[in-house]
Structure 1
Amino acid sequence: MEGASLDAVKAWVQQTRHIAVLTGAGISAESGVPTFRDAQTGYWAQFRPEDMATEAGFRALPQRVWDWYQYRRDLLTGVAPNAGHQALAVFAQQYPDRLTLITQNVDGLHQRAGSVGVLCLHGDIFENRWLDAPRNCCHIDHAVAGHPPYCDRCGNLLRPGVVWFGEALPFATLEAAQHAAHTCDLMLVVGTAGAVYPAAGLAHQARAAGARVVVVNPAPSELDGTAHGVLHGTAAEVLPQLFGAG
């Protein structure tokens, strides 16, 4: 459904007590961030996603998987947040109690734009965590450099701090996102096809709880039918207008 106009949604943003924003790969693509599958080019194209983004794949060939994530980290070093990221950050800085930012992205661009308290459903590619439950000897700051780094006492490996296929989302983060969906008055779903759950389910939860739901995306999404309004445009185009930065 098309529903509300841009001016109507802008009025909702201005009048609403609390806004939840769910962002997906589209907002980062505008900054030039390659998608998960786009990053599997050149040398990396020969490997299956399940070999590069599962615990089993990492345990089988930890050096190869670690190096692929380092390659992806390197790709991100030359990427900057765009006007969409910045509009959300500026609004949250001005009204810190009025916006909860939830993202499916692992690239850290929201944080680099100045957003704090971002709920990263799928983790953060720049963070590391231990592959196995850490023992008293496991300290990330003291890990031995390697591909991947490891604990010199027990051999525990560091792994990228992202959610791999077959893994549950971080419980506390998902719980906070669900709370925001249940308590917000307006949810904006930005730059996502709405096909990945449980993230996409947040929009349904918000609607069921009585919130207005608005999709911002240049292409049709699977959440369009749930929304009170669909704004066809990119995050960098639309969000500055909605949040008063354009």
Structure 2
Amino acid sequence: MIERIKKAADKIKKAKRITILTGAGISKASGIPTFRGEDGLWGKYSISEFATLEAFHKDPKKVWQWYNYRKKLIKQAEPNKAHYVLVELERIFKDGFALITQNIDNLHTKAGNKSVYELHGNIFEVKCLICNKIYHDQTIYKDDQLPPKCKYCQSIRTRPNVVWFGESLDVELIKKAMALAASCDVFISVGTSGGVQPAAGLPKIAQRMGKYVVEFNAEYSAISMFADDVIIGNAEKTLPMLLNYLTR
């Protein structure tokens, strides 16, 4: 593993542009259950009860109660060492750095990253279905305050600004992510299972363009076949090792 980390560090040292894709695995050490792991939040509830537009139309208050619970859990979490390594990489590469995440937990921004593309939205954002405004909101609401009123038009036709099952991702955001995968020198995948498209296709794009692809993950994934190197281990341990070799 050490030799692969050293190789990745050497490749990154020679790069001008790096693109990083993160999934739920990077946030596990922060106390947030992974999306598909055995301790995942999804395992405690039926997905169809909450994470679909149909469920929202059927019972918006119930959906909001669940997201309010998740919001409270996530708000208590702090970025871990892996998040802070990515902050340092952005400091080093400046405009040559891009971070694409499937996570809705806001931890990359909380850690200090600026160039963050949130493919699946942000649990701390609210979208109004009447005035179409999207705004940041960290409030943990009481049950009798749900759904929360839009801070602009006061409508209660609001929803979490996250992508639900059956919904399409923002087309322009996907185009940007694909361009970042194609134009980088090094593509780094951290803590994602590779089971959700179109994010799972980004490493393949980088590989087809002849870029160096390295995966950091707790176990082998669907992305591993597209990686030049796979580094198995918890990201909060392996990424600091990478940074150590990178800054020597």
Provide the residue aligned with 2:203 in structure 1: 203
Opposite residue 15 of structure 1, the aligned amino acid is K
Deviation at 1:155, TM superposition (A): 4.3
Matched, 1:93 2:95: no
Flag structure 1 segments of 5+ consecutive residues without an equivalent. Answer: none
Matched, 1:105 2:103: yes
Residues 171-193 of structure 1, C-alpha deviations (whole Å, 9 max, x = no match): 22212111100101110111111
TM-score by length of 2: 0.86
SS in structure 2 of the partner of residue 160 of structure 1 = strand
Q: Does the 8 Å CA contact 2:217/2:235 hold for their aligned counterparts? A: yes
SS in structure 1 of the partner of residue 8 of structure 2 = helix
Task: Report 1:19-58 matches (<5 A).
Answer: 19-36=18-35, 38-40=40-42, 45=44, 47-58=45-56
SS in structure 1 of the partner of residue 85 of structure 2 = helix
SS in structure 1 of the partner of residue 30 of structure 2 = coil
Residues 128-167 of structure 1, C-alpha deviations (whole Å, 9 max, x = no match): 102x3527xx7969xxx93112359784511001100011
Q: Does the 8 Å CA contact 2:215/2:223 hold for their aligned counterparts? A: yes
Q: Does the 8 Å CA contact 2:127/2:134 hold for their aligned counterparts? A: no
Opposite residue 199 of structure 1, the aligned amino acid is A
Deviation at 1:210, TM superposition (A): 1.4
Out of 71, 74, 99, which is 1:73 matched to?
Answer: 71
Flag structure 2 segments of 5+ consecutive residues without an equivalent. Answer: 137-143
- Rounded to whole Å, the distance in 2 between the matches of 1:108 and 1:139 is 15
Supply the RMSD in Å over aligned alpha carbons. 2.4
- Rounded to whole Å, the distance in 2 between the matches of 1:125 and 1:182 is 28
TM-score by length of 1: 0.87
SS in structure 2 of the partner of residue 115 of structure 1 = coil
- Rounded to whole Å, the distance in 1 between the matches of 2:149 and 2:47 is 24
Q: Does the 8 Å CA contact 2:16/2:93 hold for their aligned counterparts? A: no
Task: Report 1:109-148 matches (<5 A).
Answer: 109-130=107-128, 132=129, 134=131, 146-148=145-147
Q: Does the 8 Å CA contact 1:13/1:243 hold for their aligned counterparts? A: no
- Rounded to whole Å, the distance in 2 between the matches of 1:243 and 1:175 is 29
SS in structure 2 of the partner of residue 84 of structure 1 = helix
Provide the residue aligned with 2:141 in structure 1: none
Deviation at 1:5, TM superposition (A): 1.4
Opposite residue 104 of structure 1, the aligned amino acid is Q
Query: Aligned in 2, Cα 1:22/1:68: closer, same or farther, shift over 3 Å?
Result: same
Deviation at 1:51, TM superposition (A): 2.0
Per mean C-alpha deviation after superposition, the further-off stretch among 153-162 and 53-62 is: 153-162
Residues 16-57 of structure 1, C-alpha deviations (whole Å, 9 max, x = no match): 11111101010011211023472257xxx4x52112001110
- Rounded to whole Å, the distance in 1 between the matches of 2:153 and 2:87 is 42
Deviant stretches of 4+, over 4 Å: 138-141, 151-156
